[in-house]
Structure 1
Amino acid sequence: MTTPAADYDVVIMGGAFSGAAAAMLLKRDHPDMRVLIVERTVHFDRKVGESTSEVAGCFLTRVLHQSSHLSAKHYQKHGLRMWFCKTPEDSVDDLTEIGPRFQSRLATFQLDRSILDEHLLQEACDFGCELLRPATIKLITLSESEAPHTLEIMPQEGQMRTITTRWLIDASGKAALLAKKLGIHHSIGDEHPTSSVWCRFRNVNDLDSFKSRKMFPKLATEAKCIRTTATNHLMGRGWWCWIIPLSDGSFSAGVTWDRRLYTLPEGPSLVTRLQAHLVSHPVGRLMFENAIPDADDTFYYKNLGYHAEYIAGNRWVMVGDAAGFMDPLYSQGLDFCGYTVFAASELVRKNLAGEDTQMITDYLNTAYPRSYRTWFEALYKDKYTYLGDAELMHAAFLMDLATYFLGPVRGVYTNPALEWTLMPYDGPVGAFFGRFMAFYNRRLVCIAQERVRKGIYGRKNHGHFLAPRMSMSPDTSAGRLLFDGIMVWLKAEFSTWMAPAPAKDAIPMTEKPVEA
């Protein structure tokens, strides 16, 4: 039986990072492939994540080859820094800081996502992809046979179009068109009830300014690197804030919180509440006391975490945020975008070349949810319980990053042809590390709860500069940092359980207990 002809080989729903990247990977190596990108917006908006980690940095520079654009239009990121205080009135000179002493070794970036997304989409078009923008997909009819899929698309100007395609890639982001259509979209809000609000600010006083260093001389002592171009996190029990510099001189600042543990200050608007929260932390007050927010550039999300039950089917596949999102703490959202885009592109390419790709589809449908769950339990489940304790976060910082560099980072740099087609922390070794990480995460949660009960939570939030003894690298040297993190963890275990118990009912628990 002859397969009916299709208008396109591939239609990609969504033209931002994941959609444009998938289009580039397909079209640049197969110029005869007919690729249509359907993008609903006239201009791309802001994203909750504007920072990359090392895996996404590798994907951008070594897979998409965007080094020149990133160097010219975005900031090089110099690590992750965390700031802890005991009271809002503390001096910045007294705060505990976690972060590197020197600049980062591997390429990571502070992104203006609207600029990057527009650039990638234009590059996809330069490779020969067709773009329909702005346009809304009104109806998706998936084929269960070898017949093409059918889409009804309404351009902003013009008549409804009905098109057919051999393959459909869902890069619709949080809209998650296919997952919702198929009823396989699941929130993790019950076990990870996070919310986030963020905004752009101008007139921000950065941490490397003359004013900052004159007011707080210790800012010029311990760290030898530039703090401003790092991702600076303000930390508290149940919440954290990000502060990210952007190339136009503005700063992206936001707060993410666990609704079981924290509530934003009251106020007449979201941006007012956000700024009130920022200045309640000494570093936030130093930077944002006189900052000017762009009230029209304020965004809010509730229940950030979600995922699809499976991500591929009969000639369709989901990529990036259309497949799932977890938590912005470690800036790893674009990591999963890179993995899913590369794997999906390989799946589509091989299928259109006539290969049997059922094994790849089956792998993605088991590996993606398994990897998602591994990362969530290892890194984020109930983590907000101990975010405000510098000693516990020091242990997590070292162990989380060391296992990340030993696993995903080392993999994509040393064996990219294989690693990009797999899901992170998959396989026996990845599963072992995932279980280990989930175990120490649960222990740190329990220690934090005990510290709250005993009144010693955040006891090292003053007077410490906690820097890794070496720079993070994708080699076995990260094992030494893993050892350091384990030592900090074990010392925290011992000191917490040796601390005297408080008087009865002196310090009530203010959070729901979490099982070990």
Structure 2
Amino acid sequence: MPELFADIDLSIMDVTDDLARYDVIIIGGAIAGGAAALLLRREAPSLSVLIVEKRAAFDAKVGEATTEMSAMFLTRRLGLWQHLERNHLPKEGLRYWSSNDQVTGHENASETGPFYRSLVPSFQLRRDVLDEHVLKLACDAGAQLLRPARVKDVDVQPFDTGLTVTQTVEGVEKTRQVRCRWLIDASGRSCFLGKHLKLIDWNDEHPIASIWCRWDGVRHIDDIAALEAPPLAAGNIGSRRLATNHYVGHGYWVWVIPLGNGQTSIGIVFDKRIHALHESRERLHAYTTFLKSIPSLAQLIGGATPDVGDLRALSRVAYLTRQYMGEGWALVGDAAAFIDPYYSPGLDHVGFSVDATVQIILAQTAASPPDAGSTAVFAKQMREHNATFDRSYRWFFRCVYRDKYQLMGEHDLISASFLIDTALYYIFLVVPAYRFAKRFVNEPVLGPKPAYPSYMLLAFMKWRLRRIADLRRRTGEAGLRNDGRRIKAFYDLGLAPLRMAGRGAKLWIRAEIDAVRLRLKLWFGRRQAATGNPSIDAPMDAPVVQT
């Protein structure tokens, strides 16, 4: 393995003139800001670009798995194939594991995931390494960098924004005034500009929280299968470890992601209405105890050690902006919105928002001086940009994520949802991009108006699956299908999406048929209770809150 940072020398640029003016200033130099600067300088070398990055070095933040579309953004749009192949791991799709009282480990847990290796590229990332590399490419392309530096104040005016920037050089703080035609906020969850403009709202309809860290010494799931569970090994050809493995249960899911440096990222995401890990004062104990209570996970982390210094948590995760772009400013990536790490949508959002923003800025700055026609064109582009990304967030949340944690304890239901969600993602985004457009397309998930039928289908499906999951809990049959089942998924640009959609529909239909039996069971139970003969199948108690 090459020395990852041997060729990285991002020296601090000293702004010597007050009131320096740039075409574009970008707040934040991680993947969103670095990619925006790189694309702007590559496609319009005459534009002056300044990046203001607060960190002297990037840390190992979460964001370690791409999807097929974000991988296309990194490989074909940014040209990072060599970097990704040398410093990161390939990702082999998504895999799901469920448990109940019968499960003792991976061998008898219910499993859904790819049978063969994925034919569409995606990656497991070390975000600190990726962020440094893209930032270096942007600087090599001519972008200027202030690092470490912070924006202390901002005065947003149409195409003439002023910023007060504080830079630390050898322990001495220097304050400079800079102005720009375009200001891009790529500050991540800091949401610097969005908060300044009072555009950011918490999405309290989605009350999830998360806790995570990286581990050393996590066992290799494929070796466990080969040495301890030959039938499990025989049930798959591709690598299970290289998938993003999800361990799911009622109200939570756990990600397990291998990293190129030998560590493994393990994080819990949970619905705060069901679990209360975020309230524990002994965070590490609550985190590790929760993980070890899952039999399959206990197999992996027995003997492993968490990197205690890396333990992080968020008590609120989901938020959104009311507006992505205005006259001379734009929000990209996590600086604009975030829903949920489930399905790894964060880097998709980075790719879509950065590319769409860059295209609009290039068009607007090319019209100099602007005339009435170009002004009208920009106003229309801005309206469509804001509407498309706002619609994408709201539709995506409502039909994929809202109350989804209610059905995570049912293996067949969460598998049906995964298969149909993924099939539609392939049919309407991945396949058109790779087979027809043959380039990265910056239309976000469910953003275009023609996506409305897909939105309605997914929203109806999630509503029905949640109703069925609730019915199972009320009749005492929660989790009965979580052991001993194998459901195969495939990732390619041919018939795989249709096969996954068909399998998902089959699981859904079977669940609907079984729900008729459960409703009869519930009705007879109520009738027996009303006649003084209580049924042993009375509704379950409320879920136990785990700490």
Residue 163 of structure 1 is matched in structure 2 by: 178
Alignment of 1:415-454 (within 5 A): 416=437, 420-454=441-475
Alignment of 1:355-374 (within 5 A): 355-356=374-375, 357-374=378-395
Distance change (3 Å), C-alpha of 1:316 and 1:476: farther
Residue 455 of structure 1 is matched in structure 2 by: 476
Tell me the distance in 1 between the aligned counterparts of 2:468 and 2:436.
38
Tell me the distance in 2 between the aligned counterparts of 1:374 and 1:509.
33
Q: Does 1:34 align with 2:48?
A: yes
Q: Is the 8 A contact 1:265 1:276 kept in 2?
A: no
Tell me the distance in 2 between the aligned counterparts of 1:80 and 1:97.
11
Residue 188 of structure 2 is matched in structure 1 by: 173
Tell me the distance in 2 between the aligned counterparts of 1:265 and 1:143.
40
Query: Could you tell me which amino acid in structure 1 is paired with residue 106 of structure 2?
Result: V
Q: Is the 8 A contact 2:104 2:296 kept in 1?
A: no
Pick one of 380, 391, 396 that aligns with 2:412. Answer: 391
The Cα offsets for residues 324-364 of structure 1, whole Å up to 9 and x where unpaired, read as: 01111111111111000000000111111014311111111
Which segment drifts farther, 473-482 or 344-353?
Answer: 473-482
Tell me the distance in 2 between the aligned counterparts of 1:351 and 1:265.
45
Q: Does 1:479 align with 2:498?
A: yes
Q: Is the 8 A contact 1:391 1:458 kept in 2?
A: no
Tell me the distance in 2 between the aligned counterparts of 1:111 and 1:413.
22
Q: Is the 8 A contact 1:54 1:409 kept in 2?
A: yes
Alignment of 1:231-380 (within 5 A): 231-264=244-277, 269-354=282-367, 355-356=374-375, 357-380=378-401
Tell me the distance in 2 between the aligned counterparts of 1:465 and 1:24.
44
Distance change (3 Å), C-alpha of 1:72 and 1:243: same
Which segment drifts farther, 408-417 or 283-292?
Answer: 408-417
Pick one of 485, 490, 493 that aligns with 2:509. Answer: 490
Distance change (3 Å), C-alpha of 1:149 and 1:424: same
Tell me the distance in 2 between the aligned counterparts of 1:58 and 1:226.
22
Residue 199 of structure 1 is matched in structure 2 by: 213
Residue 514 of structure 1 is matched in structure 2 by: none
Q: Secondary structure at the match of 1:40?
A: coil
Q: Is the 8 A contact 1:101 1:467 kept in 2?
A: yes
Pick one of 403, 412, 422 that aligns with 1:401. Answer: 422
Q: Is the 8 A contact 1:82 1:234 kept in 2?
A: yes
Tell me the distance in 2 between the aligned counterparts of 1:377 and 1:509.
28
Q: Secondary structure at the match of 1:204?
A: coil
Q: CA deviation at 1:412?
A: 2.8
Tell me the distance in 1 between the aligned counterparts of 2:156 and 2:446.
32
Query: Could you tell me which amino acid in structure 2 is paired with residue 105 of structure 1?
Result: L
Q: Secondary structure at the match of 2:425?
A: helix
The Cα offsets for residues 61-111 of structure 1, whole Å up to 9 and x where unpaired, read as: 111111110000000001111111103862432111000111011110000
Tell me the distance in 1 between the aligned counterparts of 2:183 and 2:118.
39
Residue 79 of structure 1 is matched in structure 2 by: 93
Q: CA deviation at 1:272?
A: 2.5
Q: Is the 8 A contact 1:411 1:419 kept in 2?
A: no
User: Over aligned residue pairs, what C-alpha RMSD do you find?
Assistant: 2.0
Residue 538 of structure 2 is matched in structure 1 by: 506
Query: Could you tell me which amino acid in structure 1 is paired with residue 434 of structure 2?
Result: Y
Residue 149 of structure 2 is matched in structure 1 by: 135
Pick one of 212, 220, 227 that aligns with 1:214. Answer: 227
Tell me the distance in 1 between the aligned counterparts of 2:336 and 2:315.
18
Q: Is the 8 A contact 1:234 1:242 kept in 2?
A: yes
Tell me the distance in 2 between the aligned counterparts of 1:9 and 1:428.
33
Q: Is the 8 A contact 2:212 2:312 kept in 1?
A: yes
Q: Does 1:57 align with 2:89?
A: no
Distance change (3 Å), C-alpha of 1:476 and 1:373: farther
Which segment drifts farther, 409-418 or 328-337?
Answer: 409-418
The Cα offsets for residues 212-242 of structure 1, whole Å up to 9 and x where unpaired, read as: 5333333311111111111111111000000
Query: Could you tell me which amino acid in structure 2 is paired with residue 198 of structure 1?
Result: W
Which segment drifts farther, 152-161 or 496-505?
Answer: 496-505
Q: Secondary structure at the match of 1:208?
A: helix
Residue 185 of structure 1 is matched in structure 2 by: 200
Q: Which has the larger radius of gyration?
A: 2
Query: Could you tell me which amino acid in structure 1 is paired with residue 145 of structure 2?
Result: L
Task: Tell me the number of residue pairs that the alignment of Structure 1 and Structure 2 aligns.
Answer: 502
The Cα offsets for residues 152-192 of structure 1, whole Å up to 9 and x where unpaired, read as: 00012342000011110010100111111111101112x11
Tell me the distance in 2 between the aligned counterparts of 1:324 and 1:382.
19
The Cα offsets for residues 384-432 of structure 1, whole Å up to 9 and x where unpaired, read as: 0011211101211110100110112123324559973433323343111
Tell me the distance in 2 between the aligned counterparts of 1:250 and 1:398.
29
TM-score by length of 2: 0.88
Distance change (3 Å), C-alpha of 1:170 and 1:402: same
Distance change (3 Å), C-alpha of 1:418 and 1:179: farther
Q: Is the 8 A contact 2:103 2:109 kept in 1?
A: no
Tell me the distance in 2 between the aligned counterparts of 1:9 and 1:379.
39
Pick one of 90, 93, 96 that aligns with 2:110. Answer: 96
Residue 163 of structure 2 is matched in structure 1 by: 151
Q: Is the 8 A contact 2:66 2:123 kept in 1?
A: yes
TM-score by length of 1: 0.93
